[in-house]
Structure formats: C-alpha cells, structure tokens
Amino acid sequence: MRLIGRLGAEVWGQWDELRHAAAVIGTVLCLSVQPRYWARPVRNLFGRQLLAVGVEPVGFVCGVAAFVGISVVVQLAFWTGKAGQSQLLGPLLVAVVARELGPLLTNIVVIVRSSSAMATELGVLKISGEVCALEAQGNDPFLHLVMPRVLGVALSAFCLTIVFILVAFASGYLFGAWLGKGSRDVWYFTNTVLNALHPQDIVSILAKSILPAVFTSASCCIGGLGVGGSVTDIPHATQRALTRSIAGLFVISAVVSLLTYL
C-alpha cells in the first residue's frame, strides 16, 4: 500500500507540474500577441535569448547534422547495394531526418546546452533577490524573465531544426555523390526530396520542433523560479527540469507522429 501511495503521489505531482507548465505556456501566448507588453527591456531580453539559444549553437548543430546525413548514406549503401540508391536517397533523408531525427536531435541539443543554463540562471536570480527587486521596481517578472525565454527558445529550436535538416540533406547528397552511391545531379536529388515531402511533413516539423521547445523552456522557468531559499536547491531544480524536458520531448514527438502519420 505504501508503494501504491508513493506512486499515486508521484503521478499527482507530475500532473500538477504539467498543469503549471500549460498555464505558463498559455499565459505567454496570450501576452505575446499584445504589443503593449513588448517594452524595450523585454525585446532586448528576447534578442539575447535568440543569440544564446539560436545562434551560438549553429556550428555544433551543423556538425551533428553533417554526420547524420553521412550515416544515412552509409546505411542506404549497406541495405540496398547499388540498386535504386539514387531514387531512395532523397525519400530516406526525408523519412529519417526531416520527420524524426532533425527535430528530436535539435531539441536535445537545446535542452542539454541551453535549458540547464536557463534553469540555473533563474534559480540564481531568485536566490539573490533579483526577482523581488524587479517587483519592487514595478516590473512584472513574468514579462522580463519568462516570456522572452519561452518565445526565444521556441523560435530558436525551429530555426535550428531547419538548419539541421538542410545541412543533413546537403551532407547526404555530397557524401553519396562522392561515394558514387547517389545521383550527382543536384536537381534530380532536389526533385526526389520534394516529391517525398508531404503537407503532413511540414506540420510534423513545425510541431516537433516548437512544442517540445515551448514545454522545455516553460519547465525550466518553473524549476528555476521555484527554488527555495538555499543555493543547494538549484541543482535539484535543474535536474528535475531537465528530466521533465527530456521526457516531454519524447512523448510529444511520439504523439505528433501518431497523429500525423497514422
């Protein structure tokens, strides 16, 4: 019975955290469409968030994408031999990279690289009294600390996903052409990719890149601003936020795939 009780308490705790994250996301979306909430400090924070999350990791994301594209060509060569490789390379890249690996790996990079720093930074601001100082100055901490981060991470994750997909396609085409495993006609390769893309693929890319990023940033903001009065609470809050973010990423990706392709 104690085990069942602990399990029930954990389930209810996760449900409360999910509702809290949904409330934060809904508030961010409602406030973000009202120009009067976009004061200069909020715009500056939003720009810095885009720079930190969406621009600085571009090199690393491109490197990962290049290796993913090469890996797809290697697997294609292993499973098909020489027959039909030119026709299969584009559709395989669409199926593996655009539909699944691109949004998934990009969000993992964002979570590992930026979300932990976000939760830690907000925890330090909470402990040091900066949040109370914002309130004392008449500023809304939600507008200055939460909204720019949630929107910045969402837009950055989407842009990085597009970069990932394009680099993976380019590296797959170049590596396949160099090995003689695919057509060297770039227009033929582009045509096979475009023919393999469907409207639901565009919806899938949008959903799988933006929704996990929004959930991740909201969870990290909740974790960072929810720390107590001790610095030792920050690592625990960051760990919980990252755990929720990773779990949410895989759940959202699986649900989007089921709704889009089944």
Pair 231, 89: CB distance under 8 Å: no
Instruction: Tokens for 151, please give them.
Output: 């929107």
Q: Residue 156 has what pLDDT?
A: 94
Q: Residue 117 has what pLDDT?
A: 85
Q: Residue 12 has what pLDDT?
A: 64
- pLDDT averages per 10-residue partition of the chain, 262 residues: 62 71 89 89 90 91 93 77 63 88 93 86 85 82 89 94 94 81 74 87 93 92 80 82 89 91 78
C-alpha 65/C-alpha 59 separation (Å) is 10
The string over 178-188, giving b where at least 16 C-beta atoms fall within 10 Å of a residue's C-beta and e elsewhere, is eeebbbeeeee
Place of tokens 């973000």: 32
CA proximity to 261, closest of 208, 211, 209: 208
Pair 66, 178: CB distance under 8 Å: no
Q: Residue 115 has what pLDDT?
A: 83
Domain borders along the chain are: 39-261
Q: Residue 2 has what pLDDT?
A: 65
Q: Residue 83 has what pLDDT?
A: 47
Pair 100, 257: CB distance under 8 Å: yes
Q: Residue 162 has what pLDDT?
A: 95
DSSP code, position 65: H
Q: Residue 20 has what pLDDT?
A: 80
Q: Residue 4 has what pLDDT?
A: 66
Q: Residue 81 has what pLDDT?
A: 56
